[in-house]
Amino acid sequence: EQAADGRAMGTLDLICTVIRHVHLTCELHNPIDALAVRQVRRGLRRTYSSAPRRLARPLSVEEIRQIVDAIDRNTPIGIRDAAMILLGYASALRRSELVALTLTDIEDKPAGLMLHIRRSKTDPEGHGEVVGVAHGQHAATDPVAAINAWREIRGIAPGPVFTRIWGSTVSQ
């Protein structure tokens, strides 16, 4: 039933684990060990786990412009959010890489910025990589100008680039 509803095999495995745990905790027979259940799971794995995943299409520049235009860039939250969106889009960073950036990871260059990525999903050994971000063609979508505006508000205290904002106070 769960597979027919489109659940992933990982989710089905988790459901079976929970069922197994509850039965063992209550000292009941574990239905997951039954031959019929194992055969059904094996068949589901053959049927559903090899199905190609539909990749999300990337946002276009026009869609990014619409998103950024909807942000009130007169507030610290708006300035931070616009900087995150524009820098993330221009650098093609994952969310985890973007939020892991510290002020020391950003190097200003005449043509833009150099971002030092310490660790990423594709770099489990932590060798790091350097990503360049060029100035944008339009002021409203320039990632370098957006991050510089945020850094002016954020201050120079060491720590993460993108910090919390409590009310009107920017945390360090």
Query: Would you call 82 exposed, middle or buried from its count of C-beta atoms within 10 A (0-12, 13-18, 19+)?
Result: buried
Name 7's Cβ contacts closer than 8 Å, sequence gap at least 6. Answer: 15
> Residue 127 has what pLDDT?
85
Residue 49: the pLDDT is 65
What helix, strand, coil percent values describe the chain, rounded to 5? Answer: 50, 15, 40
Q: What backbone phi and psi angles, to 5 degrees, belong to 156?
A: -105, 5
The answer to pTM > 0.75 is no
Torsion angle (degrees, nearest 10) of CA 151, 156, 158, 162? -20
User: Which amino acid is residue 74, in one-letter code?
Assistant: N
Neighbours of 96 (CB within 10 A): 10
Asked whether 110 and 101 are in contact (CB, 8 A), the reply is no
Q: Which residues of the chain have pLDDT under 70?
A: 49-54
Note the pLDDT of residue 167: 78
pLDDT at 17: 93
